[in-house]
Amino acid sequence: MTADISFLDLFLQASFLVKMVMLTLLGMSVASWAAIIKRSKIISAAEREADTFEDRFWSGIDLGALYQDVKKRKDDIYGIEEIFYAGFTEFARLRKTNPSAPDFVMEGTGRAMRVAVAREVDSLETSLPFLATVGSISPYIGLFGTVWGIMHAFIALGEVKQATLAMVAPGIAEALIATAIGLFAAIPAVMAYNRLSNKVSKLEHNYATFSEEFHTILHRQAMAGRE
């Protein structure tokens, strides 16, 4: 008998509640892996986009020309490009209507970039709370299935006159599988959550730093325009 067949046999012999626990955990595991793969791709793309755009930004390119290039792709931009676009758009709008009030212009520009940063970070953090939930509750769901399965096994054991290890072992084994599946679902989710959260935190810091640097550049332009 192979390990796969043994697992299938134990699953089929388990009580209805334990089966539901196993299926729930397997579903959570599949969903968490889908979220891990999708979120990893999105965050990696955001990291590459940030590096590429910052290289262009600090290459000495004219900010107006860079803005026009980004504006052409405004429906497809994200990450640090979105922050740049939001800040420059608000700066140009306020400067046009309030040319002699640089402080007012920069206050609005800073606010627009902070909102853009918050939105980008919220977008990056999508699915991370789900991974945290899977990582925290899966072991307990598995433990619940194990406890219930062991109770079921001992109740069945009490109905026979002579108990042997061969009689109780299958029931205990099928119950323990629930805990194993719970750990199988939880461990990758926790590891991915910690890794992806760390990446998002670094990107958030990068976005905030860029916003401050860009704000300083625009502030110099606003003050020069007033003079």
pLDDT band, very low/low/confident/very high, at 80 (cuts 50, 70, 90): very high
Is residue 11 within 8 Å of 174, Cβ to Cβ? Answer: yes
Tell me which DSSP letter residue 159 carries: T
Q: How does the average pLDDT of the chain come out, rounded?
A: 88
Q: What is the pLDDT of residue 4?
A: 46
For the chain, the domains span: 3-226
Q: Report pLDDT for 156.
A: 67
What's the pLDDT at 170?
67
Average pLDDT over residues 82-93: 95
Q: Measured between alpha carbons, how far is 50 from 121 in angstroms, rounded to an integer?
A: 13
Q: Which two tokens stand for residue 47?
A: 């990291």
Q: Which residues have a Cβ under 8 Å from the Cβ of 150 and sit 6 or more positions away?
A: 171, 172, 175
What integer pLDDT is reported at residue 167 of this predicted model?
A: 63
pLDDT of res. 224: 74
In the predicted model, is pLDDT for residue 209 greater than 60? Answer: yes
| Residue scoring higher pLDDT (150 or 162) | 150
Give the DSSP per-residue string, 66-93.
HHHHHHHTTTT--THHHHHHHHHHHHHH
pLDDT band at 102 (very low <50, low <70, confident <90, very high): confident
* Banded pLDDT at 5 (limits 50, 70, 90): very low
